[in-house]
Amino acid sequence: MPSFKLDDREIPFEPGDTIIRAAQRAGVDIPHYCWHAGLSVAANCRMCLVEIMPPPGRPALALAVLAWDEAKGAYVDQKKPKLQPACQMQVTDGLDVRNQSSAHVERARSAVQELLLLNHPVDCPICDQAGECRLQDYWLEHQATAKRMHDEPVHKPKGVVFGPTIVYDAERCIVCTRCVRFCDEVAKDPVLALRERGNLNEITVAPGRQLDHPYTLMTEFVCPVGALTAIDFRFKARVWFLRSARTVCQGCATGCNAFLDYDPRDGKVHRHRPRENQAVNKYWMCDEGMLDYHRVETGRVLRAAVDREATTVGAALDRAAKALKGIAPERLAVVLSAQHSSEDNFALLTIARDLLGCTNFFIGGKPNGQGDQVLRHPDKNPNTRGVTWLAGSSSPRSMQDLSAAATMNEFTVVLALGSETRELADAGPLGGVKERIVVTTHEGPLSRLATVLLPAASWAECDGTYVNARGLSQESEQAIGPKGDSRPAWKLLAGLAVRLGRDLGWRKLADVRGAMGAEAPPPSLPGSNRPSAGASS
């Protein structure tokens, strides 16, 4: 592999790499605003300037400048090396690049940083970006000087509403054009552009349009400063109070890797943001997924109920066990859920097959929705593939079949995980089944019919594994503690098994995972993708 020298460190690169990309792969972060690994190169912020040493025996590329000489008290002619943007400069074999070790580079960066802050408002105390803002980080690392300009700064529009999700503050904007390039290149909806020049330069929405494509929140995500803020997150939390859990988005079958940011002090979830995974979502997520975290709070089933009367989880489990004890296997219908993790579905399958001898399996989940070529998948369930694989030979049937069978009065008990019924518009016929036991995180058609309702913990409240549409099995981490009376569904089902007279010994998620792994390792899956911290770059 060819290599080049960065601050006297030998760094390998692949042909076609730019300096910044090769450095990043080697773990060296060259400061930058406008460059984003997932976008084209603009080279307009000039923060990533590096000095490239001339080949031996050749003169350096230099500019003639006038420099102030303190001793002489006059300007003198000087030569200064011409610096190159690391984001645009392609690496060649044996290139000698100076990053931190060059005084010229440090001076240039300090000057760039000073320029970017020249008209910047004193907004940190009210800015949502504060705490994760490049301007703050790089000021300390590369400038660290006080303000020299004491004139009134240039004022520009503040609080400009770009669309239903995004508000723009032109004064904070450093015009790096990341958002413009994102709309052009990734969302394929070139709705943002630049207007004016010089220090009046600002981002604007195309006349007659709003920023309203399905990926608008990504413009806020790529914004390195606080210019674009999400209406959803504005003034809600200060980021340094938040902690992040590595989760998998539940919005569709793509299974985007995400960070779920929550406040550990009150257990509230505040935002969802993408986590880099080149095999799945690269750097991005869609608006639907980013806003999907609201489901942790809304539409939840948090209390157990028997015949619509609220009760304790223990009592509801007792009642469910009573209904299931001694039931003829052909009179029992079990609904698996593409909304729940593989562990939850495995627990249900094990109990249904091994304890109850059930053969009638159905699969529930959300109905299909819109998809696109970027990230969004029409299947709005995170684990359809996982459930189908786990069920294997039991080949679950559709909810329509269940409805038809219920109309024929074939079943006495329905044991359902999740409360969604896919394309089945009218769940009414299921009401004809005598006992309807539903273990679910959210309200839905099934939970409304339930005679025994058990509250399950959502993906934010427990660990779980989800298999996306491409067959990648991904683990999602717990962020907050279970809400209300809810418990992980596998735990409720393990409790049910105890009440049915057989203790499967499952007390921790690891026990379920162990049993799941022992029965049949997933042959078709390309291995588990352990969550790894991804930089937002």
Partner 1 sequence: MAKALVALLKQSFPSAVLETHSQHGDDTVVVDPGQWHELAAFLKSSPAADMSMLMDLTAVDFPDRDPRFEVVAHFYSLSKGHRLRMKARVGDPAGTHVHIPSICDLWASANWMEREAWDLFGVVFDGHPDLRRILLYPEFEGHPLRKDYDAHKIQPLVEYRDVPSIDKIAPFRSDEGMSFGRQTHDNVPSADAPDPEIFPDSAN
Partner 2 sequence: MEPLDEELTQAEIELPADPMIVNMGPAHPAMHGTVRTVVELTGEVIVKADVQVGYLHRGFEKMCERGTWTQVYPYVDRCNYISPMLNNVGFSLACEKMLGIEVPERCQWYRMALGELARMSDHLTCDGAMAMELGAFTPFLWMIKAREMIWDIMEEESGARLTHSFGRVGGMAAPPTDGFKETARATVDQILKVLEEVERLLLGNRIFLDRLEGIGIVSPEDAISLGWTGPCLRASGVPYDIRKAHPYMRYGDVEFDVPVGSTGDCFDRFMVRIDEMKQCARIITQCLERMADSGPVNVDDPRVMLPPKEDVYNTIEGTIRHFKIVMEGLKIPAGEVYSYTEAGNGELGFYLVSDGSGTPYRVRIRPPCFLVTSGLERVITGQMVADVVPCFGSLNMIGGECDR
Report the site for partner 1 in 226-265 (rule: CB under 8 A): 240-241, 243, 264-265
- The option from partner 2, partner 1, none interacting with 379 (CB < 5 to 8 A, set by class) reads none
In the complex, least distance from residue 241 CB atom to partner 1, rounded to whole angstroms: 7
Alpha carbons 489 and 501: distance in angstroms, whole number: 19
Q: Which residue from 349, 444, 354, 355 is spatially nearest to 388, judged by alpha carbons?
A: 349
Tokens of 510: 């690891």
Minimum CB distance to partner 1 smaller for 234 or for 243? 243
Binding residue for partner 1, selected from 492, 516, 529, 531, defined by CB under 8 A: 492
The residue type found at 418 is: G
- The option from partner 1, partner 2, none interacting with 140 (CB < 5 to 8 A, set by class) reads partner 2
In the complex, least distance from residue 317 CB atom to partner 1, rounded to whole angstroms: 7
- The option from partner 2, partner 1, none interacting with 461 (CB < 5 to 8 A, set by class) reads partner 1
x/- track of binding to partner 1 for residues 187-226 (CB under 8 A): ----------------------------------------
State the residues that interact with partner 2 by CB under 8 A: 117, 120-125, 130-131, 135-136, 139-140, 143-147, 240
CB 458 within 8 A of CB 297: no
Sequence-distant contacts of 235-238: CB under 8 A, at least 24 apart:
235/126, 235/128, 236/270, 237/261, 237/263, 237/270, 237/271, 238/130, 238/131
- The stretch among 112-120, 207-215, 306-314, 527-535 that binds partner 1 (CB under 8 A) is 306-314
In the complex, least distance from residue 369 CB atom to partner 1, rounded to whole angstroms: 29
Angle at 236 between CA 231 and CA 242, to 5 degrees: 120
The residue type found at 247 is: T
In the complex, least distance from residue 200 CB atom to partner 2, rounded to whole angstroms: 19
x/- track of binding to partner 1 for residues 460-489 (CB under 8 A): -xxx--------------xxxxx----xx-
Tokens 């009414």 correspond to 428
Binding residue for partner 1, selected from 313, 437, 449, 453, defined by CB under 8 A: 313
Count residues near partner 1 (CB under 8 A): 32
Q: Are strands 9-12 and 160-161 parallel, antiparallel or unpaired?
A: unpaired
Residue 143: HSE in the Cβ half-sphere, 13 Å Cα cutoff: 20
* Beta strands per DSSP E along 238-353: 243-248, 257-263, 268-274, 304-306, 309-311, 332-337
Using CB under 8 A as the binding rule, whether residue 173 contacts partner 1 is answered as no
- The option from partner 2, partner 1, none interacting with 135 (CB < 5 to 8 A, set by class) reads partner 2
Tokens 């329509």 correspond to 400
Alpha carbons 162 and 313: distance in angstroms, whole number: 47
CB 531 within 8 A of CB 352: no
x/- track of binding to partner 1 for residues 264-303 (CB under 8 A): xx-x------------------------------------
In the complex, least distance from residue 530 CB atom to partner 1, rounded to whole angstroms: 17
- The option from partner 1, partner 2, none interacting with 442 (CB < 5 to 8 A, set by class) reads none
Alpha carbons 304 and 283: distance in angstroms, whole number: 39
Tokens of 418: 């999740």
- The option from partner 1, partner 2, none interacting with 136 (CB < 5 to 8 A, set by class) reads partner 2
Alpha carbons 277 and 256: distance in angstroms, whole number: 8
CB 350 within 8 A of CB 385: no
The residues of the shown chain that bind partner 1, judged by CB under 8 A, are 131, 240-241, 243, 264-265, 267, 312-314, 317, 457, 461-463, 478-482, 487-488, 491-492, 494-495, 498, 503, 507-510
